[in-house]
Structure 1
């Protein structure tokens, strides 16, 4: 429930606004601010001074799942004007809307898959042949971790830390991050390592790379894209599935389950200037709590 300390300043602001803006403009500001109050109340916010830039980014991202990009832009504008009023009235000591960058998902709104569509995509791969097990494992890992193709293909056996439920991931700049992985995806990786990979290894030129092609070498980016294309067609999905769409889908599913926005950003390896670094324990806690159950549990 929204506190009186949240609603009272809004009422006073709208009354002041009536003196210089049209009734329709005042009504729109009121709708925007009430929507934001409701969203902030879901995060146990009781006063406007408790809001910081990172919480606003999370709330804006959550709202973007149900409203248009134009509406999100309007919410930001309404909040900026409102916080100017709060500062003038000395009701807050900071302005969290200053330099607030909209998350990329709000700006571009890439397509995402529902949980059901994600399951359908992954479960198109069946059978016990080495390539079938490898392909199923790739889809399981791509969704469970949100890795980019380059990060997926760079994985080695040494990057797997299943006793602690995470992977070490190397980005294109050579920087490492720790990424949680579901029990379900772990079981598929273990099956791949035990059953399929030994049949793909080239004993004359063995490599530590995790995912191998039929010649025992590193899998290509084109092969992963083709796998996604074929699986989407088999699942009869009405969207062209790309690695970025799988990343966006994981992000959307976590946020829909009230995941901490900063934790999701860190999992995906995105960077926000001056963003605080969360502990692996906190990241894993958010991940376990917010990953859809159907895509977390092992088979």
Structure 2
């Protein structure tokens, strides 16, 4: 099994997968291989071991996103096994994905977004940076990985857009509104005093590029300061961005393109959230004893 795992890792390197992706895939596959060894399953195209492993992860209280990521890694691994003639075909993964109920994302209201933005301070360099970062997250719906990868030259404050590239190299232009533009303008003015000659747009107070953990701390601190009771995470602004656009009449295809999704994974969930909010609103307005 170890030789197979090493061969798989070399394969991922040969096709140019990113280091973080390789590490995540190898870790997930390694855990799966340990599971099937311990339970005396075989690697074949039947998929029994996959069903058992998904059940095991679910019973172990793994998060939905973690299980979905594992399934993606195993799909890639089984495709590799087919290419290496270890098995004849990839087992049915759709059934495995259906067993995992997708957790509904946390959505902030417009009022909650405003409270978070207002929780930052405009009297410090850190406050100006935090405000600009949060405003851009909400204005564009970018993933955190995309946000921290932005260079200064990716932002055009004259034409009011930001150039974003995802982890597959696909590039998209996303418009930014007045609030994000003004916050970025104020931040960029003070950024030059803390920069260490790097090109990244968002930097920490030591002048180094900000990390994913750094963004998480900003989101956590500002949400707490604003008194938000919901479990805000790094995807909350992205999901809220999408729902607010759809609520205000944006076309689903446009939202998909802004988000950079190759598959409209969450669109149905977004509409389900919107419809339930409408039903609750109508009920409260029309029922005599609501």
Q: Deviation string for 1:44-64 (max 9, x for gaps)?
A: xxxxxxxxxxxxxxxxxxxxx
- Structure 1, unmatched stretches of 5+, are 1-105, 274-299
Aligned with 1:219 (options 210, 216, 221):
210
Q: Deviation string for 1:155-195 (max 9, x for gaps)?
A: 1111112222211101112221111111210111111111x
Given that residues 207 and 217 in structure 1 are in contact (C-alpha distance below 8 angstroms), is that contact kept between their aligned partners in structure 2? yes
Which residue of structure 2 lines up, in the alignment, with residue 83 of structure 1?
A: none
Which residue of structure 2 lines up, in the alignment, with residue 110 of structure 1?
A: 105
Given that residues 150 and 221 in structure 1 are in contact (C-alpha distance below 8 angstroms), is that contact kept between their aligned partners in structure 2? yes
TM-score (norm 2): 0.54
TM-score (norm 1): 0.53
Which residue of structure 1 lines up, in the alignment, with residue 177 of structure 2?
A: 182
Which one scores higher on RCO, CA 8 angstroms, separation ≥ 6? Answer: 1
List aligned pairs for 1:1-299, cutoff 5 A.
108-194=103-189, 196-202=190-196, 206-272=197-263
Which residue of structure 2 lines up, in the alignment, with residue 25 of structure 1?
A: none
Given that residues 223 and 232 in structure 2 are in contact (C-alpha distance below 8 angstroms), is that contact kept between their aligned partners in structure 1? yes
After TM superposition, give the deviation of residue 107 of structure 1 in Å. Answer: 5.0
After TM superposition, give the deviation of residue 231 of structure 1 in Å. Answer: 1.1
Given that residues 122 and 136 in structure 1 are in contact (C-alpha distance below 8 angstroms), is that contact kept between their aligned partners in structure 2? yes
After TM superposition, give the deviation of residue 148 of structure 1 in Å. Answer: 0.8
Partners of 1:168 and 1:270 in 2: CA distance:
16
Partners of 2:160 and 2:122 in 1: CA distance:
26
Given that residues 154 and 162 in structure 2 are in contact (C-alpha distance below 8 angstroms), is that contact kept between their aligned partners in structure 1? yes
Partners of 2:107 and 2:204 in 1: CA distance:
28
Equivalenced residue count is: 164
Partners of 1:240 and 1:179 in 2: CA distance:
27
RMSD of equivalent CA atoms: 1.6
- Structure 2, unmatched stretches of 5+, are 1-100, 265-290
